[in-house]
Amino acid sequence: MGVPHIAGLDGAELPPGEVGTIFFEDGTRSEYHGDPGQTAAAANERGWRTVGDVGYLDRDGYLYFTDRASNLIISGGVNIYPRRSRTCSPCTRTCSTPRCSACPTRRWASR
């Protein structure tokens, strides 16, 4: 796959432990079948490529997958990962399956 990197929404590489989009450098080049626009969108300005996974690298360089970028909700400049919300939410008898969804707003982008 290549050398993994984690990038924030601004494209800057993030330090170990910070969650962001997973990119790979010098990996096997792949393409979206019949969709050159999507293929081009999967690369950043450094030429690193992503398939839309979200995660982080630890201090030893191990890669951890936490979610998919398409599941990300941005609200007021804060990244909200629905999977993380569901796995951290304590369940009770009245709430056996927590849910998380986005509602577009003008002020916050999503909430």
* Boundaries of domain holding 83: 72-111
Which tops the pLDDT comparison, 84 or 16?
16
* Range 47-56 average pLDDT: 89
Residues 14 and 54 in one domain: yes
Q: How do residues 60-90 score in pLDDT, each as one tens digit?
A: 999 998 887 766 666 666 666 655 554 544 5
Residues 12 and 59 in one domain: yes
Q: In angstroms, rounded to a whole number, what is the distance separating the alpha carbons of residues 34 and 21?
A: 24
Residues 66 and 77 in one domain: no
Q: How do residues 25-50 score in pLDDT, each as one tens digit?
A: 987 777 888 899 988 888 899 999 98
Residues 33 and 86 in one domain: no
Spacing of C-alpha 92 from chain mean position: 29
Residues 44 and 89 in one domain: no
Number of Cβ within a 10 Å radius of residue 84: 16
Q: What does the DSSP assignment read for 1-29?
A: --EEEEE-TTSPBPPTT--EEEEEES---
Residues 82 and 95 in one domain: yes
Residues 62 and 104 in one domain: no
Q: How many domains does the structure of the chain reveal?
A: 2
| Cα angle: 69, vertex 25, 22; to 5 degrees | 20
Residues 6 and 60 in one domain: yes
Contact (Cβ atoms closer than 8 angstroms) between residue 40 and residue 5 = no
